[in-house]
């Protein structure tokens, strides 16, 4: 940071500052915890000598709080991979099942956006394809904040919902599926080769809110990377040029994520979770009927408060999934 050229690359300098703050917070929290533990140990010894039961109880409660604090710092230590500090894109796709799955996809998008709001992160809608009756067929959101990708990276996979359908006049129980894919927002200066001949660029008319140009001009952009078959799209900007620029950034991120996953597979780090990405291999089930339970099938962690989970209270699931990283 003391180098003469440090501030010339704004994106790189901000990344370095973010990492510095992250590690400083970890070290400071560790030192504070050590000091608190010493103080509590001294206080407990004094209370023991004086046989002061009230102080003993206060010390025990303080130790429980300290343990919780140390646990959170331990979890943060798992956010040390190269891309963990990046912002991220979250793609949601409805599975087979029409309106049911499309409504479920919309519920999942709301869950991640609520989680983002609760963390005071910035969340933007990049694109969406609405369902015919309700919900969404697909959508992409961008979440910006400290170590967002690190927290959400294990959310990729199939999410299953069981409930009494609000769209079924017979009030029957339905099972719906939607897929989530989380990938990092990479530095624009990252050297990822994208050849023009490998791209197919399509334009189409945007839908939804967005101003006077929506539904009147072909401002929305879809880019297909032919070798990898990766498709990205953006419609949230009013101009075709800006939507294309966003698409290229998303494609660069997808290709980076693709290469990182390929490297992980070569190192056999992801061997146990390969099946999680396929249909029929849900990573988490959200059951609203006949009982109420959210269960992560990888960690076996459960919550009996699905309403809270769907309102964005997913920290416990994220923390448990980080412990599964080897």
- 126-160: pLDDT as tens digits: 999 998 888 999 999 999 998 899 999 999 999 99
List CB contacts of 277: < 8 A, sequence separation 6 or more.
156, 157, 158
How far is Cα 311 from Cα 111, in angstroms, rounded to an integer?
Answer: 5
Q: Is 278 part of any domain? A: no
Strand 157-164 relative to strand 284-287: parallel, antiparallel, unpaired?
Answer: parallel
Q: Is 21 part of any domain? A: yes
CA-CA-CA-CA torsion for 104, 112, 128, 294, nearest 10 degrees?
-10
Tokens 């992980």, residue located: 264
Q: How many domains does the chain have?
A: 2
Structure tokens at 30: 């560790």
Higher local confidence (pLDDT), 178 or 19: 178
Model confidence over 96-124: pLDDT tens digits? 878 999 999 999 999 999 999 999 999 99
pLDDT the model gives residue 89: 95
Q: What is the CATH number of the domain that holds 218?
A: 3.30.160.20
Q: Is 283 part of any domain? A: no
Q: Is 218 part of any domain? A: yes
How far is Cα 318 from Cα 151, in angstroms, rounded to an integer?
Answer: 6
Work out the angle between the directed axes of helices 53-76 and 10-50 (0-180°, nearest 10): 160
List CB contacts of 21: < 8 A, sequence separation 6 or more.
none
Q: Is 205 part of any domain? A: yes
Report yes or no: 39 and 16 within 8 Å, Cβ to Cβ: no
Domain boundary among 44, 59, 76: 76
Domain that holds residue 46: 12-76
pLDDT the model gives residue 83: 84
User: Nearest-CA neighbor of 201 among 218, 185, 187, 182?
Assistant: 218
Q: Is 240 part of any domain? A: yes
Q: Is 299 part of any domain? A: no
Of the listed ranges 188-192, 206-210, 250-254, the least confidently predicted one is: 206-210
- pLDDT at residue 280 above 90? no
Domain boundary among 246, 264, 282: 264
Domain boundary among 35, 52, 76: 76
- pLDDT at residue 61 above 90? yes
pLDDT the model gives residue 104: 96
How far is Cα 25 from Cα 182, in angstroms, rounded to an integer?
Answer: 26
Q: Is 7 part of any domain? A: no
User: Which helix (H) or strand (E) segment is 88 a member of?
Assistant: strand 88-94
Segment 52-73 shows an average pLDDT of: 90
């Amino acid at each position: 940071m003391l180098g003469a050229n440090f501030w010339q690359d704004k994106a790189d300098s901000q990344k370095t500052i973010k990492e510095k703050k992250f590690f400083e917070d970890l070290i400071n929290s560790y030192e504070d915890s050590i000091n608190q533990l010493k103080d509590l140990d001294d206080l407990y010894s004094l209370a023991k000598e004086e046989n002061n039961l009230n102080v003993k109880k206060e010390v025990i409660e303080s130790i429980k709080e300290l343990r919780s604090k140390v646990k959170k710092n331990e979890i943060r230590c798992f956010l040390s991979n190269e891309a963990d500090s990046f912002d991220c894109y979250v793609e949601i796709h409805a599975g087979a099942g029409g309106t049911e799955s499309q409504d479920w996809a919309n519920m999942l998008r709301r869950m991640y956006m609520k989680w983002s709001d609760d963390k005071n992160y910035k969340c933007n809608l990049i694109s969406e394809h609405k369902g015919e009756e309700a919900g969404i067929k697909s959508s992409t959101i961008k979440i910006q904040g400290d170590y967002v990708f690190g927290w959400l990276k294990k959310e990729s996979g199939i999410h299953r919902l069981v409930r009494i359908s609000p769209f079924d006049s017979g009030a029957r129980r339905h099972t719906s599926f939607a897929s989530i894919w989380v990938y990092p927002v990479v530095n624009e200066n990252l050297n990822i080769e994208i050849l023009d001949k490998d791209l197919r660029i399509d334009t189409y008319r945007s839908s939804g809110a967005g101003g006077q140009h929506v539904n009147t001009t072909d401002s929305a952009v879809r880019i297909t990377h032919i070798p990898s078959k990766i498709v990205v799209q953006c419609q949230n900007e009013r101009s075709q040029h800006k939507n294309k620029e966003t698409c290229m950034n998303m494609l660069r991120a997808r290709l980076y994520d693709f290469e990182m996953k390929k490297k992980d597979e070569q190192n056999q780090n992801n061997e146990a979770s390969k099946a999680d990405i396929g249909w029929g291999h849900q990573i988490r089930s959200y059951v609203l009927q006949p009982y109420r339970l959210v269960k992560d099938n990888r960690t076996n962690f459960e919550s009996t408060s699905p309403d809270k989970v769907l309102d964005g209270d997913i920290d416990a699931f994220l923390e448990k999934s980080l412990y599964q990283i080897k």
